[in-house]
Amino acid sequence: MFKACPLSQLVPGEALRLDTSPPIAVFHTEEGELFAIDDTCTHQDASLADGWVEGCEVECPLHASRFDLRTGAVDAPPAKLPVRTHGVSVVDGDIMITESGEVPNLPPGLTIDGHR
């Protein structure tokens, strides 16, 4: 478990890209829920933290596949594989992330440390 940022720095409706390997996106929805998923789309190298959130889904900014923030599942091509979801909790006012132990579904050409 590691600290993402103080909860007060991530207002509802905002997302934060963490410089982890691979990067993790933390979302604070308009409804006040917190989610963490892998930041990189499974189709190509796009940052989901830059996508559009509606309800419990984020739309990839490049080709509009939508990922479920709760499960990581993708709704429609071009992305075919889900992203990982990570545990999120708030401890003493800080957003804490528990990274998934699963192998990430990175897009073709990307490796776990982000180098091609």
**Residue ranges that bind ligand FES, judged by CB under 6 A:** 41, 43-44, 46, 60, 62-63, 65, 78-79
CB of 35 to ligand FES, least distance (A): 17
The Cα–Cα gap between 45 and 109 comes to: 9
Name the minimum Å distance from CB 82 to ligand FES. Answer: 12
Residue 44 tokens, joined: 């190509």
Q: Which CB sits closer to ligand FES, 17 or 63?
A: 63
Peptide bond into 108 cis (omega under 30): no
For tokens 């940052």, the residue is: 47
Nearest one of 47, 44, 54 to 107, comparing CA atoms: 44
Task: Please identify, using beta-carbon distances, which residue of 96 and 110 lies nearer to ligand FES.
Answer: 110
Q: Residue 45 CB, nearest distance to ligand FES (Å)?
A: 7
38 or 95, CB closer to ligand FES?
38
- Smallest gap from Cβ 90 to ligand FES, in A, equals 29
What are the backbone dihedrals phi and psi of residue 50, each rounded to the nearest 5 degrees, phi first?
A: -90, 0
Residue with Cβ nearer ligand FES (78 or 104): 78
CB 97 within 8 A of CB 90: no
